Amino acid sequence: MPRSNDASDINLSWLFGSLLTLSLSTLFFLSITSLRGQNISNPERGYAQTVLQSMDPGSKGQTKINITLPPSEPICLVNSLPPTVHDLPSKRSREELIAAMENIGQQMVRDPSLTLVVSGPDIVGSHYLFVRTYTLSGTESQIDIEEKLCIIWDPNPPVLANIPPDCTRSCGADLPDWPQVQGIDLEWDHVVVIPSSNVIELACGEKVKRSWTAIDGCGNISEASQIINLTSQMPILTVPEDTIIHCSEGIPAPDYIMVEGCSKINVGLKEIVSPGIDCNYFLTRVWTAKDACGQVVRDTQVIQVIDTIPPDIIPIGPMIANVKSGDEIVVDGDINSALLKEEDLEIRDQCCTPECIISNQLITQKLPDGTGGTCTKWKCTATVSDLCGNTTEYHYFILHLNTDTP
């Protein structure tokens, strides 16, 4: 509430009355005067009035009534110049006053005249007190309606006390505790202080802005702030460990973990493949992280690609489709259909195209006893090697019978 230099100088009930806004159609109070008359009260209607016989000899028995309105709620003025009558709220119209009188049961004459007199201000500290007197006059009666108004002149905003100075902290460090900031005002005992905080991202580092807003009873505002500068730290870059994979496996996607140091960071990746072959080489990945403050950090992962699995040989020719390596088959007649050819084989390798070498070798030739014919034995071999030196061999034997006479 507003402050006063001397509590006895201000009648608080006169200044403020009820905090509720009351219209003219509600409560009215009796204003006691020194004129002779009779008191008339109406508790059911909630008002009282005095009906007075005018002392003016020329009034011919005119009835005079004084009514005092409840005090209005004070209003504020924050201009640089003190209040005058021009700063008062709008005056009440004649129609509004007549309607209000009739609403409380006060009989009015037709078309009364209205005059308005404003007195004041009486100045008590920052309170400027005015009195408006409305006079409704007819030939038989006169009603004086008194309205008391208060303007609080408060051109000065509150002052914020205990604002801490700006400071600097490392990124990630604990921020200072919030201080107990107070709002001080010469006119008001209580000032509302509202704290707030926001982070300001910079190219290099960050700022935390703490703000306080003080508001007094007249709506005057003061603002203050503290800046906490957060200095950028060296980025922390973590990449996967070096690894060895088989050439048949997929190359893992590049991945990394970056811990920022209160600064924007750009991360670049460069991949270097060492000279080699498809199934045996080194892939080196180099990550480079650079923040907006110019700090650079690098880390590397090496992926070795190897091939330790030999090729597969699958016989598919009609003579050998079911012949396992090392088996022997017997051929009677033309031997050419039984000799091994590359198209009789399906060769598979998981990483590259292997090389296949075919060999059909005559092992023995002899004369069987009592027949007069020849019998020969052949070894048919396929040797398949990949680029990493992994080798697979497939072979079978042919016992060729020839009943022809030599």
| Token pair in block for residue 386 | 């990949």
Name the band, by pLDDT with cuts 50, 70 and 90, for residue 317: very high
Dist CA 316 CA 339 (whole Å):
13
Residues contacting 385, CB < 8 A, separation 6+: 311, 354, 355, 357, 391, 392
Yes or no: say if 147 and 116 are a contact pair by the CB < 8 Å rule: no
CATH of domain 236-306: 2.60.40.10
Q: What is the DSSP string of 127-161?
A: EEEEEEEEEEE-SSEEEEEEEEEEEEE--S--EEE
Tens-place pLDDT, residues 221-277: 999 999 999 998 888 999 999 999 998 888 999 999 998 888 888 999 999 998 878
Dist CA 227 CA 211 (whole Å):
9
Burial category of 343 from C-beta neighbours within 10 Å (exposed 0-12, middle 13-18, buried 19 and up): exposed
pLDDT of residue 344: 94
Q: Which of 206, 208, 209, 299 is nearest to 261 (CA)?
A: 206
**pLDDT above 80: residue 13:** no
Name the band, by pLDDT with cuts 50, 70 and 90, for residue 109: low
Mean predicted confidence (pLDDT) in 84-105: 85
User: How far does Cα 167 stand from its chain's mean position?
Assistant: 25
pLDDT of residue 233: 86
pLDDT of residue 371: 57
136 vs 158, residue with greater confidence = 158
Look up tokens 């409704």; give the residue: 136
Q: Which of 182, 212, 175, 179 is nearest to 197 (CA)?
A: 212
User: Do the domains 236-306 and 159-231 match in fold?
Assistant: yes
Q: Class of 159-231 per CATH?
A: mainly beta
Burial category of 118 from C-beta neighbours within 10 Å (exposed 0-12, middle 13-18, buried 19 and up): middle
Angle at 201 between CA 199 and CA 206, to 5 degrees: 80
Mean pLDDT rounded to a whole number for the chain: 81
pTM: 0.55
**pLDDT above 90: residue 39:** no
Torsion angles phi and psi, residue 86, rounded to 5: -70, -15
Among 20-29, 102-111, 208-217, 336-345, the range with the most confident prediction by mean pLDDT is 208-217
Name the DSSP letter for residue 190. Answer: -
Name the band, by pLDDT with cuts 50, 70 and 90, for residue 18: very low
Q: Class of 312-402 per CATH?
A: mainly beta
6 vs 101, residue with greater confidence = 101
Dist CA 264 CA 279 (whole Å):
40
Name the DSSP letter for residue 7. Answer: G
Name the band, by pLDDT with cuts 50, 70 and 90, for residue 26: very low
Mean predicted confidence (pLDDT) in 349-370: 82
Dist CA 400 CA 332 (whole Å):
6
Dist CA 255 CA 147 (whole Å):
80
Q: Which of 124, 122, 119, 128 is nearest to 151 (CA)?
A: 128
pLDDT of residue 20: 27
Mean predicted confidence (pLDDT) in 342-370: 85
Domain ranges across the chain: 7-153, 159-231, 236-306, 312-402
**pLDDT above 80: residue 92:** yes
Task: Report the b/e string of 294-307 with b at 16+ CB within 10 A.
Answer: ebebeeebebebeb
- Return the minimum-mean-pLDDT range out of 2-16, 240-254, 297-311, 363-377: 2-16
Tens-place pLDDT, residues 189-228: 899 999 999 999 888 889 999 999 999 999 999 999 999 9
Dist CA 50 CA 253 (whole Å):
98
Peptide bond into 121 cis (omega under 30): yes
Dist CA 97 CA 104 (whole Å):
11
| Token pair in block for residue 156 | 């000065």
Burial category of 336 from C-beta neighbours within 10 Å (exposed 0-12, middle 13-18, buried 19 and up): exposed
